[in-house]
Structure 1
Amino acid sequence: MKKIPSKKEISVAKTTEHQASTKIRFPIVGIGASAGGLEALELFFENVPKNSGMAYVVIQHLDPNHVGILPELLQRTTEMKVLRVTEHLKVLPNHVYVIPPNKSMSILNGYLHLFKPVELRGLRLPIDYFFRSLADDQQEKSIGIILSGMGSDGSLGLKAIKEKNGIVLVQDPLSAKFDGMPQSAINAVIVDILAAANELPEKLISFLKYTPSIGSKTDIDNKSKSNLEKIIILLRTQTGNDFSLYKKNTLFRRVERRMNVHQIDKIAYYVRFLQENPKELDILFKELLIGVTSFFRDSAVWEKLKADVLPELFDELPNGSVVRAWIIACSTGEEAYSLAIVFKEALEKVKNDKNLTLQIFATDIDSDAIEKARKGFFSQNIVADVSPERLSRFFTKEESGFQINTAVREMVVFAPQNIIKDPPFTKLDLLFCRNLLIYMESELQKKLMLLFHYSLNPGGVMLLGSAENENTQNNQFIPIDEKLKFFKRSVTPVSTELIDFPSSFRHIGKQTSTEIKTVKITGNIQTLADQFILQHFAPASVLINGEGDILYITGKTGKYLEPAAGKANWNLYAMAREGLGNELPGAIRKAKLNLEPVKLYNIKIGTNGGTQFVNVTLQLIDKPETIKGAIMIVFSDVPNTPKTANRKPRKGNQNSTSRELELELDLQRANKELQSTREEAQTTREELESTNEEMQSTNEELQSTNEELTTSKEEMQSM
């Protein structure tokens, strides 16, 4: 007698059967194509073996009002069975599936599902839609291929596949009839295989068959660990970034990917390859960053932020406050701009009169991504993530995409930054760090949590990624919404430890012995004698640079120079005593013109309680190279009051005679200085006249250009 299975047994059996069916053990290849895609698809499938062991899903831009015969056309080029997709169709290996017209398609547990397009008219992105679904469903077994087509459909989907460690192939733009989609894909991600359509199948099969030895290891042996550490050292030297505390499994998967590309079977050989090819280090660095982002990613998070989190924050802040936010790992800026848009919408919704503003600091380790973010220009693909209302209000439509409005752009400051080693932003009200911690070891995660706690104001809000958690044990953060990963910094202060982050810029100095050893110096008699003469008998002098800053002093210069009052200033112009300060600027200008010495005679300077006459010699230095361009200034005292040659002394008061001599010397110096000033003024006038002529010439050229443009405009208007 047969036993009738119970409901529980039937349920368990169905569950087991379903789980078995969902374990797809073969790769699923999504192929996106548009204009010129039919020829590329035919070339592709003509070169796919009948038993490749893969399933192929074709997403072609089709006329929504015509059924089309694409499956029939492709069937002529391949021995595999080609099917037009119907609802809930199971994917099998060695089959080709073609999307029907006027449908969007996704995949769940290996079954294809069809939807009516959300967009009734205008831009549709069926390739992006399916690629994202494929990445979520098949994870690392997902494969995305972009063939000929216009526009940029598929680029965002390839990013999602890349994030899941899937494989990305693109038709070489040079071989494509229309290179828009291939070129957009190349700009969006690091492509694993780039080739003509007829070469892609062979390269893909070779890529999948070529599995490095590290791929099958669950436990990393010491030799592989050592080689991985060598790669980390090479990356640190090349890029300045330290990956030593990133999860080793993630690093191994990304290294394995690059080894597959170059058909290298051992990690030790790849280390050597990196040493010989610095460009590969840059590519590996980009591969490790996994810069995947989109506008309003995880829509429930942004709805929560707009409806609850921001309004509560607005209520707590005083009037006129600046809300400070930090977006960590911002990639190309979509998340930062999303926050700016939601802030504006939330502020309008609450209708308070607090005059709040938002300042966003968005940082990323990738300088290229930061440059793209600063431009604020995005492809047409963002229509899949941004509503028409937001597009019309916060973006400006351009020919090839959308430009973020100035009002939103000015709310964000983008900067390259490594969260592990660079100083953090502080006094924050909002901190976003989504999908970064999952790639880091727990030790580094805990250190970053301490850093985030330090950066946020008490009551500040932290947002993490969907797969991340606040893993501190001392109640540093209070959950606001554990499902959506909103946390609030605790108001109660907690004890924090000093954080020592690994830094590629840390230089370990050579250890020196603390014991000071006495070294006996055998001096040269000539050198010692020269030093003695220099110190005791050489005239006072100073060495200055071109700006007048004193570089070196010889002898006693106190009679000629004195420190200026206030902040310490070692500039000759500030330190020159009364009388000398008037003469030096002109003399220094002359000295700079040639190598002839410039001499000043009988300069009267004020000293402490009296006056002193001094001769000054200035010499521009040409050699040695180390002090080339410096000026040596030598002071020598005049012992007695100078007398003018051929002058007969007058009878009378000796003081009167001395006074007349001083006045005559002052007059001579004034005449020389006046002559020098006239020469400089003449030179300046000539230079200004020359500049004026150049400006007039430029003005005439601009007027001519303006007339030509006006004529062209009139011609265009008349057409």
Structure 2
Amino acid sequence: MTPEDPQFEALLAYLKETRGFDFTGYKRASLMRRVGRRMAQVEIHGYGDYLDYLQVHPDEFTALFNTILINVTGFFRDPEAWAYLREHVVPQLLAGKAPDAPIRVWSAGCASGEEAYTIAILLAEQIGVEQFRQRVKIYATDVDEEALAEARLASYTDRQIAGLPEELRQRYFESAGGRHVFRKDMRRSVIFGRNDLMQDAPISRVDLLTCRNALMYFNAEAQSRILSRLYFALADGGVLFLGKAEMLLSHGETFTAVDLKRRVFRKVPASTPRASASASASASAGVLLPDGAELLGLDRLRDEAFATCPVAQVVVTADGLVALTNRRAETLLGVSTRDVGRPFRDLELSYRPAELRGYIDQAQVERRTVRVPDVEYSRQGSEAVVLRVDVNPLTGPDASLLGVALVFQDRTETRQLRTELDMATRQAETAHEELQSTNEELETTNEELQSSVEELETTNEELQSTNEELETTNEELQSTNDELQTINNVLRDRTAELDTTKSFLQVLLTSLPAGVAVVDPGLQVQAWNRSAEDLWGLREEEALGEHFLNLDMGLPTDGLRPLLRSVLSGDLSREQLTVEAVNRRGRKIKVQVAFAPLLDHASRTTGAIVVMTADDE
């Protein structure tokens, strides 16, 4: 026996009080080893320090529970035991039932769901998929919410389904996103829910109960309590399937071994009937008062109290039949005493205003009230109302499931009041924000006004200074205007002089008896006098701007090009030659052509002067 550590026991008590996980029944050696492994990962060495760490870091609970609850599972894990179940146990179970009788299975400690889907595959192979959908309910439970969430997805990797034969894989799984998803039509028959074997009420009337490798983590006292619950859960003759590391050495009066090697056991029916509620039922019509008198008519009183209850209620049996309904339910939901005895799933109420069948299954599996959030509901000819539905499981004195009570709370006024309150709150918040914003704007405006006054004063001073500067500038402009007037007069005189000079040069060129052409360095004609026009028949406007050597005249240009280039290159000597040409009248003439450089005031060559003198033959 492992001696108890007070700090460790305090840690277990804290887990039970804060999170509802009761690990006090687990074997201390394995439990302390797993908790110690998690403590080492967060580098904490004392149980007291770890409890303080949990209080400060709520996310640590998930990591701790995942370490304690080792969810080791797989499809057809321990194949020999599953083969025995398939070949011997399930055929006997089916043989003892009517062809259309329901089959109820409980997979306790289902982890990530592989075991529950293994049972589904095994039963579908025996009775066919269609019969499976109609007859089978598999309740798969665990205390680990993360594992249950994964199980509900029914999606597995290649490694997780590696143990399945290929034909089963193709028949019962569909590929999606690189994973394998269990068939949706069969998935609806597998119901997952949280159930603590130590605390929560068991599922009842179970034909096959698998609880593999879960008892091994509990001590003897806890195992005894759990086995009592499993015994109650099984129907007479029901089969219990345990893990290969688990035995039932001290429970021979409740279970008998079908195959000890494979850990298959059958429930032993009770030799004496359990105490029933018949005595109390027989006295339900009356109650003895302290003075010995009997208070009669209680059944009628209860019925009337239920019928006139202002809250709509519908009671459904464990088999899914409508058992009771009150007047408010008839007014609000359209359900009346005429529906008593009908399957609840056939009523419109089962799926409207909300899909209630799933919530009913959840309440039955988890043995706790399931609340459906506010939903809107309206019947033809009536206004819409907001309903909150509470699904309450009903159990007997022996913890057996009797059914569920559906309570429909009218939350319309509450919703309206909440909406109005929210609206008023938002309006108040908006008004407060607007007031704050207005106050801030006023403060900002005041600061801006003060700043504007200062800026105006500064601007006034600047304007005065600018006015003085403008007066000074005006005087300077008047002085400048006088200067410009003088310059204008000078320019006018110079322009007149230039015009005179230009006229003189024009007259000079015109008066020359020889033809004169002035070209720039690019041999573009810049001047063309009257004698050149008479000699070659080419007007001044036709020659100006044209290339001298490309002019359409009778002067051969082949011999002229070298001399022109020589003059333009800076040779200050004057060149001349005599060539034969054709004048404007078509007569052959000899022309003396002389070349001289055109120099600027710095004696730089800026062009050439070509003088053409004709000698008539």
If the TM-score is normalised by the length of the shorter chain, which range does it land in?
0.3 to 0.5
Bigger CA radius of gyration: 2
